[in-house]
Amino acid sequence: MQQSPSPQSYPPCFRPNHLSDQIHHNHVTETNHQHEDPLPIIDLSRIDLPKLNDACTNWGIFRLINHGIPSNLLSELHEHTVRVFDLEFESKRNLFASIPTSELSYFWGTAALTPAGDALYKGSNREDDFKNHNWVEGLNVPLNRSEQVQLHQHPLLHDFRIKIEEYGAHQTRIAKSIFDAMLQNLKLGEADECCLSPSTGLLRVYRYPRCFSDNPPKVWGLDVHTDSSLVTILNQDEVGGLQIHYEKDDVWIDAKPIPNTLVVHLGDMMQAISDDKYKSVKHRVRVHRDKERISIGYFVFPEDDYVIRSSTYRPFTYSDFRTQVQYDIKTFGAKVGLSRFKLNEDL
């Protein structure tokens, strides 16, 4: 059974009796596990290529079984994650401020990798300021800097990082197996195998706090978005909240948590190299009134200078794409994404 976190571990705006009680939230109730799971299921131990192709074409997301990650590693990683997030907010914030952001960084109030929550922390009391932030806090953990990370002076973070590195190695293995199978389906050549770069792999560890409110829905754990990655692999705890958009029927579907399975999303870079044959799935996260939610996402990208070529988009690198996304968020307040690179597109 999940223990109740101390309110002092939450960023101030997420605590009870704060302005957050006066705004609206998007609640999720308990998932009914007896209903049939709608997501396609792929068995990593013997990948069915036609079934995988159908999942990537029509869904852009699927559930992965027989992934080979030891169950004790998953449970230990979850326990370490809970312990880190349960630190008092001030201690947590100061602790991560002492660590270079290129090694391990803490964010809250936004899914981006910038501490946008600080605007709330510094004293804003306007309801609109809260509505512009997501009900989430998290850690960004690059996986290619393990030799450079010096966390021995922080025993809790040191142990957490060891588990993260072990888990990340499994994620790299899984991502490569899935990506190679997708390339076979797309009949892409050996040159495209270099598109997926394990050195870019990173983990984002999310905690979605309880929202302590019974008001009608308006605020999300994460707003509707697509991932910029090639592949995203998500490990959910037992608390529901993830929803995906099934484009064919224009409906939102709960991607409910099922033990010993992972959820694989396709991202924008996969859609681009597939010439739009595969879909970068839209998804969002609802908050929970009674429980916090923990999830761990693995993201992998092309190298910054790898040129993506297709008949649908003008040639661009992932660095070009990331720069454009950052510009659009700063200028327009939202990611525009792949449509910026469409041939003959005037945006």
Helix (H, G, I), strand (E, B) or coil at 94: helix
Q: Which two tokens stand for residue 37?
A: 């799971």
Can you tell me which residue has the tokens 């001030």? 90
Ranges of the chain whose pLDDT falls below 70: 1-5, 17-36, 111-132, 145-153, 191, 212-218, 345-347
Q: Are 238 and 203 in contact (CB under 8 A)?
A: no
List for the chain the helix, strand, coil content (%; round to 5): 35, 20, 45
Q: Domain residue spans in the chain? A: 7-303, 316-347
How far apart CA 184 and CA 140 sit, in angstroms, is 32
pLDDT at 99: 80
Q: Which two tokens stand for residue 107?
A: 């964010």
Q: Which of 204, 293, 322, 340 is catalytic?
A: 293
Q: How many residues does the chain have?
A: 347
pLDDT at 344: 75
Residue-wise pLDDT tens digits, 162-203 = 899 999 999 999 999 999 999 999 998 776 778 999 999 999
Least Cα distance to 321 among 232, 243, 226 occurs for 226
How far apart CA 324 and CA 308 sit, in angstroms, is 15
Output Rg (C-alpha) for the chain, integer angstroms.
20
pLDDT at 157: 84
C-alpha angle 58-69-259 in degrees, rounded to nearest 5: 65
pLDDT at 146: 53
Residue 284 annotated among the catalytic residues of the structure: no
Tell me, yes or no, if the pTM score tops 0.75: yes
C-alpha angle 233-243-280 in degrees, rounded to nearest 5: 55
Residue-wise pLDDT tens digits, 24-62 = 455 554 443 334 578 999 999 999 999 999 999 999 999
What are the CA-CA distances from residue 134 to residues 146, 301, 333 (Å)?
30, 24, 14
Q: Are 25 and 215 in contact (CB under 8 A)?
A: yes
pLDDT at 345: 58
pLDDT at 212: 65
Of 3.40.50.300, 3.40.640.10, 2.40.30.10, 2.60.120.330, the CATH number of 7-303 is: 2.60.120.330
